[in-house]
Structure 1
Amino acid sequence: MNKLNIGLIGAGRMGAFHGETIAQRLPQANLYAVADPVPGAAKGLISQLDVNAKAYTDPMELIQDPCIDAVVIASPARTHASNVLAAIKQGKAVFCEKPMAVNLKEANEIVHASDESNILVQVGFNRRFEKGFYSAHTEIASGKIGTPQLMKSTTRDPKLNRAESIPEWTIFLETLIHDFDTLMYLNPGAKPVEVYAIADALIRPDLKDSGLLDTAVVTVKFDNGTIATAEANFQAVYGYDVRAEVFGSEGMITAGGIRESSMTRYNHNGVSFDTCRYDQDLLFDAYVGELRSFVDCVIHNKPSLATANDARYALKIALASIESVKSNLPIKLDQHVLI
């Protein structure tokens, strides 16, 4: 296989970035087609990228195209599972943005279908491909900080945009799901056993009755004794803030940050530095790295670093968090949480 022919589903903000990466940053990949149900969206992205690619309005037509080897899914979250399952059925490797699914029935179907057909499914947990987080994982897995005891993962978005259109429970299913995967990634071999979550509308309290929760904290207990917290907020006025910390019996590791660069400014105003205000700036290398890894795994038949089973575990924590908020009680992960 000289180049991997990739079909991209979704020509929106994230899809456009992935399309640019496939077309311009991955020598082993070819952006063969783009699908988006919005009239003109696929053709518009193809024109913007100046590539010779097919345009579809029906994602299923793209998935069924026999010339496509792999599918990258960046469509709205609630469409992910059906697109992933359709791609697996057509024998195509899949990269899917998080969340892979929004209920455990769909997640279980994907894991089963992927295992049964031996089709690679990679999920867009980009922090696994960020240099600092990857280094932290390697250090922790090698035992250099002993047994993890306390952990925390933070996601704070720089600005709450289009608040009225945000689907219910997004803070768990689409934001904190990154943090849940991060906690799993930085506590290798451990499994979550209990979740307790609280959430509120602190940025836009006027939207709470319509289902918007913009601030949340989740406590996760693991079977190796680790106690972890994950927190999210949709509006950090100082920038896009993504960090993690693992405290162990022999030391501590931190990863992530907010700086635009390593430059620090010292002047009459004090000490300051510039901050990233956009996820594609802060995590640029990770976004590119996850697709580079996906292409490499497909071409060389290697296992993914962010599997469908990883995504299922993160979803279990997200769904348990939702149940915890509803009941104001801790939720055991061995319960069957179906939403």
Structure 2
Amino acid sequence: MNTLNIGLIGAGRMGAFHGETIAQRLPGAQLYAVADPVPNAAEQLVHTLNTTAKVYTDPMELIKDPEVEAVVIVSPAKTHAANVLAAIRHGKAVFCEKPMAITMEEADEIVQAADEHQTFLQVGFNRRFEKGFRAAHREIAEGRIGTPQLLKSNTRDPELQGAESKPQWTIFLETLIHDFDALRYLNPGAQPVEVYVAADALVRPDLKESGLLDTAVATIKFDNGAIATAEASFQAVYGYDVRAEVFGSEGMITAGGIRESSMTRYNKDGVSYDTSRYDQHLLFEAYVEELRAFVDGVVHKHPSYATAEDARWALKIALACIESVQTNQPVQIPKPALV
């Protein structure tokens, strides 16, 4: 099998993790180039990983490199759409971290471009690649708990860091967007039709006027009658907490968790266990598996497990949530227009 030449855009926290995965954990791929406009960021990552990857400061130069066959985009969220569109138009396969876009116009343009160019495109909805979530999806799709009626999904970060620099609406566009996709994934074939949101700044009340919301609960109604809640907090002092539950007419399924390992401690203080405090620890295998699936899909022409259309639906929910916060009213979610 030929080795897939991958160009990485973004050498920050998540970019460095994906770069390490490409360079060290995927036999069918090589980290061919890294681009980051931050001075020395790409050079430092290449040095740390001890690779011979090319270094660029301009992502467009990487995208235009004829030897780059696929692009993994881990740049800031506001740059995702432009990088994705450029990669599609230069004939590259694309993996993009969530969110794929931050406006519906961008999302529509990407869906159309990917279809026209027949591009393999995968979005970084890692829960689709976590073993428990995948098993839950399979059980639900096979009808083993009957018809889904009540669903829950939550993301609770262990600590609110860099609060002053977080863009407005981060909790919907970059955090809960995982839960919005997870709820669709765990309610196969159903689509959301309405949302209502309660949100506030409970961790950092002093930042509420500047637009930072750090706590939110969204109620989502689906066209199959199911009612779901998506919940997020930027500060769970006990650890990084990612879980889901689906209650159906014939049973219930749960997925996700917080444990660092399967070890449970029994002593004079009671029963306890250690918890994960970092997303790359809790979801390590899922992060690796999503890139493995990307490489496999590109090389063997398998369907994407997290498509541009999936990303467009998740964004549609996120934007409706923002509108609900602004109006304090339920918001209808029309089906995205076909382009």
TM over 0.5: yes
Show the counterpart of 2:280: 280
Take 2:263 and 2:53, find their aligned partners in 1: how far apart are those partners?
41
Question: Structure 2 matches for 1:52-67, cutoff 5 A?
Answer: 52-67=52-67
Letter in 1 for 2:66: P
- The CA deviation at 1:290 is 0.1
Give, in whole Å, the separation in 2 of the partners of 1:63 and 1:136.
Answer: 37
* Cα deviation digits, residues 143-165 of structure 1 (max 9, x gap): 00000000000000000001000
- Report the Cα distance in structure 2 between the residues aligned to 1:329 and 1:215, rounded to whole angstroms: 18
Q: Which amino acid aligns with 1:11?
A: A
Work out the number of aligned pairs and report it.
337
**Aligned 8 A contact 2:313 2:336 in 1:** no
Q: Which residue of 2 aligns with 1:40?
A: 40
Q: TM-score with structure 2 length normalisation?
A: 0.99
Q: Does 1:242 align with 2:242?
A: yes
Structure 2 SS opposite 1:314: helix
Structure 1 residues 273-324: Cα deviation after superposition (integer angstroms, max 9, x where no partner):
0000000000000000000000000000111000000000000000000000
Give the Cα–Cα distance (whole angstroms) in 2 for the partners of residues 334 and 4 of structure 1: 39
Which aligned pairs between 1:188-337 and structure 2 lie closer than 5 A?
188-334=188-334
CA distance in 1, matches of 2:317, 2:131: 25
| 2:92 paired residue number | 92
1: distance between equivalents of 2:335 and 2:96?
Answer: 26
SS of equivalent residue, structure 1 residue 209: coil
Query: Counterpart amino acid of 1:19?
Result: G
Across the aligned residues of Structure 1 and Structure 2, the Cα RMSD in angstroms comes to: 1.0
Residue 198 (structure 1) shift: 1.3
**Displaced runs of 4+ in structure 1, greater than 3 A?**
none
Residue aligned with 2:150, SS: strand
Unaligned runs of 5+ residues in structure 2 are: none
Q: What code does the residue aligned with 2:46 have?
A: I
Amino acid at match of 1:54: K
Letter in 2 for 1:232: A
Amino acid at match of 2:228: A
- In the aligned structure 2, how far is the partner of 1:47 from the partner of 1:334? 48
Provide Cα deviations, 1:238-260, integer angstroms capped at 9, x if missing partner.
00000000000000000000000
- AA paired with 1:308? A
Alpha-carbon shift at residue 335 of structure 1 (Å): 7.9
Q: Find the residue that maps to 2:208 and give its secondary structure.
A: helix
The aligned residue for residue 163 of structure 2 is: 163
Tell me the distance in 2 between the aligned counterparts of 1:133 and 1:254: 8
AA at the equivalent of 1:66: P
Could you state the TM-score of these two structures normalised by the residue count of structure 1?
A: 0.99
What secondary structure sits across from 1:210 in the alignment? coil
Partner of 2:115: 115
State the one-letter code of the partner of 2:114: S
